[in-house]
Amino acid sequence: MEAYFDNSATTAPCIEAIRAVNEALTDCWGNPSSLHRTGNKAKELLDLSRESIAKRLSCDPSEIFFTSGGTESNNLAVMGAAYQMRRFGKRIVSTSVEHPSIDETLNKLEAEGFEVIKLRVDNFGRVNERELYAAVNSNTILITMMLVNNEVGTIMPVEAAKRAATAARSPALIHCDAVQAFGKMPTKPAAMGVDLMTISSHKIHGPKGVGALYIRKGVKIKPRTFGGSQEMKIRPGTEAMPAIAGFGAAARALPDPKRELEHITMLRDYMVSKLTEIDDVIINSPPDALPFVTNVSVLGIKSEPMLNFLSERGICVSSGSACSKGKKSHVLTQMNLDRRRLDSPLRTTFPRFTPVSEIDALVLGIREGKKTIRAIK
């Protein structure tokens, strides 16, 4: 039996996405920019996919722009907004626990002369709203904040960003990295006061290599690539239709988020109750985290030997972000956890289809791994 608990890294493609990819490769393989029948067929599939994703975000299809994934969408949003808005100021406000595709982009902008404020977090990875309000001033041109942290599941106060900008009489655009939230909780950018929102296909059981950026109607950002009229010149280049078709199909296949949240919460609570029966297991995620993501530490056992022990038994978990492989978690470091917890994190993230038997296998694996690894030491 394989028990897969690394869905923050990637998810298994659902059958609907697989079928859509195959159809795009065999029946709708034309260039959607071509004016003949074959091109029109591909264009219809492109429009359907855009509409499917827009429906999930409660926005207009014209506000959805396809990219190669979450990293490109984050780069495009942050750099495109900063360069577009720099005539109004130089301050950008973010957090100290963002995904590397945000954090490293901000470092680049800071090196170019932008003023970057990275808000600190508490022991649960939360940003203090009062500190957010204090950081935003009239020269702030961008606030970028993830909705759900990819390592511990903390839900960030994204809606407070717009209120902070309004209070400071700031022209700031609001960007939200919703890669770990999309399909798992309500993500309606207009209702949240968000101007730009990043989402990704392979985190919702769609194919890799495609994502999207929501850009609120009327908002302008500078493009990062040039050479075509596709995606309204925001992201030119022939669209990757098989991946886009799979993304649209995965979005259509998403279950009702409220019902799904209730189901996953039940599974998370069951897992946590079993894990906390094991000595020296500490839960690093906050109690009100998005239940899909749970980060734990097994004190005294470094992550790598435990990951290897579990992997040999068909149980797949991670120690943190797949984009920071081999490094100590910057998220847990910013949460100011002690050395023993920093050395031993395990991140579990549920897919839509987790049976209780797989949770039992995970708990048993951690219990046995703890005994075996300590005996070897």
Question: Strand 64-67 to strand 115-119: parallel, antiparallel, or no bridges (unpaired)?
Answer: unpaired
* Integer angstrom CA distances of residue 258 from 53, 185, 255, 269, 316: 18, 7, 9, 17, 27
Q: Which of 14, 28, 176, 323 is catalytic?
A: 323
Find out whether 142 and 95 touch, Cβ atoms under 8 Å: no
How far is Cα 75 from Cα 73, in angstroms, rounded to an integer? 5
Please list, in sequence order, all residues whose beta carbon lies within 8 angstroms of the beta carbon of residue 294, skipping any fewer than 6 positions away. Answer: 153, 268, 271, 272, 283, 285, 347, 348, 349
- In the DSSP assignment, the letter for residue 327 is S
Q: In this structure, is the dihedral angle defined by the CA atoms of residues 190, 195, 201 and 205, taken in order, positive or negative? A: negative
Which contiguous run of DSSP H or E holds residue 173? Answer: strand 173-177
Residue 315's Cα: distance from chain center in Å? 23
208: exposed, middle or buried (C-beta count within 10 Å: 0-12, 13-18, 19+)? middle
Active-site residue flag, 176: no
- In the DSSP assignment, the letter for residue 95 is E
Using H for helix, E for strand and C for coil, what is the string for 226-258?
Answer: CCCCHHHHCCCCCCCHHHHHHHHHHHHHCCCHH
How far is Cα 37 from Cα 10, in angstroms, rounded to an integer? 36
How far is Cα 95 from Cα 99, in angstroms, rounded to an integer? 10
| Residues tagged active-site | 323
